[in-house]
Chain A
Amino acid sequence: MSDRKEMIERESRLEQLVSDLLAEAKQQGATAAEAGVSSDAGLSLTVRMGDVETIEHTRDNGLGITVYFGQSKGSASTSDLSPEAVRDTVKAACNIAKYTTADDCAGLADAELMAKDLPDLDLYHPWDINTDTAIELCKQCEDAARNLDSRITNSEGASLNTHAGLHIYGNSHGFVGGYPTSRHSLSCSVISQEADAMQRDYWYTTGRAAADLEAAEAVGQKAAQRAVSRLGARQISTRSAPILFQSDVATSLLRSFTGAIRGAALYRKSSFLLDHLDKKVFPDFVHIHENPLLPKGLGSAAFDGEGVTTKAKDLASDGILKSYILGSYSARKLGMKTTGNAGGVRNLAIDPGDLDLDGLLKKMDTGLLVTEMMGHGVNMVTGDYSRGASGFWVEQGEIQYPVEEITIAGNLKQMFQQLLAVGNDEEYRGNIRTGSWLLENMTIAGS
């Protein structure tokens, strides 16, 4: 799928498929409909202990349609794009709509909100890499990890993933849009050992273009450093202490924040941030914003899952919650307007502070640096938070020893209020960009 001309032909084929789907839905009696079609191809390759382990060639096609008969809706999807399966899919969606209840809030997004201009967000940089070169790159990555330290004794391997594809969305307002995207990643996971104890850790790099990835050796070395640094980890006793969430785990706190202000959680009254719009959620210095139009961004899109124009906006400013994350349905349920967030938040970032990780450790003085969390102990209704953690115990701003088999617990509402500082050591690899977070106090359960 590396050829641009082929991609353009593919795009028009899929656009045709979307309009055929919408026509079929109308033919079967639907009063409105929306459809999405995607096609993606890629390579996933893993090298372990210096030798190829798996080579997977992926090729995924999919199509989904939602039909409306007045205010009743039905949905169906298929991985089989044969004309027969497509017809069956539309038929299944229409049949379902006979049994769902008419819902005042159901329906397409309003026609006037449809995106008109689709700017080129520079999201398509296919990687023309053959398997031999990919194997070589993975070997370099894993070798760099295994050669870093004699305590790296085993490996789960280095993996390269490259995918390129197209997604087209259209609806019966006449909107149809889509564009090709690519995404590549290189990751490495290795095991360190000392006496009988083993520790595993990993590192990865990802981007829209191969040129934006970290060097293979650097990925391997970071994985190895992280795995070695965990050796000798021990449980600490139960106590309360300040917690520093390293940037790559701090992203999960922002995910909890966006989870609590998404429309479905709000209209279901299952959010700990219910009725918090224009209220203080974070301290004054916190500024959180979304930029869906970021060139090459991993979350970038010019229109949302309903064809609505996306735009940059503040979610929190001076610590005050400025916007929910809504699609049309949840907006109608709440008596509000869609924020162009059907399908979620795109390229979220929190403004960095002045301190790097070292500066934050000094500021914390004594406490826990959390570098990994485990489990799903987040209650989005109450904000109650209790998760497994590992990291490092810190005294006088210096790392003392690695820690494991402990939990950290609190309540997200209070945790947000107790944010003391955000670092400038930004994690930028995913849809969420943040520095490390220093929190005043949480409960650590241990021995």
Chain B
Amino acid sequence: MHEWALAESIVSYILEKANEMNIKKILEVEIKIGELRQIDMEILLIALKTLSENTILEKAIFKISIEEAFLKCRVCGYEWSYREEKSKIEEKDIEAIHFIPEIIHSFIKCPKCSSIDFEIVKGKDVWIEKIKF
């Protein structure tokens, strides 16, 4: 349910930008969300629509797409996808990553050299890709 917290930040951000640009109506918003967040799309969309009521976003279409998560070892350079490793992570730890994506560093290591020093190349952020008005 922290999808609501993210939805609040998205709506707040768009309204702020629209105000700065003197935009009176928004038609469409493209949102990208990293896979690590494991967002419940249905809840996020309900939250976005609810929070948009009585604003210039009320009639907007929200297009949300997921960015696949990739990790890269800083020691041996091996790159792998989160999906490859997800089955090895306990359910409660997956839930922890859902709340704070960076916490993945506590639960995963490089499948090749076992280093804990890796970077999240992509798939953890949330951002507004485009706004149509």
A and B associate:
no
Residues of B within 8 A of A (CB): none
Residues of A within 8 A of B (CB): none
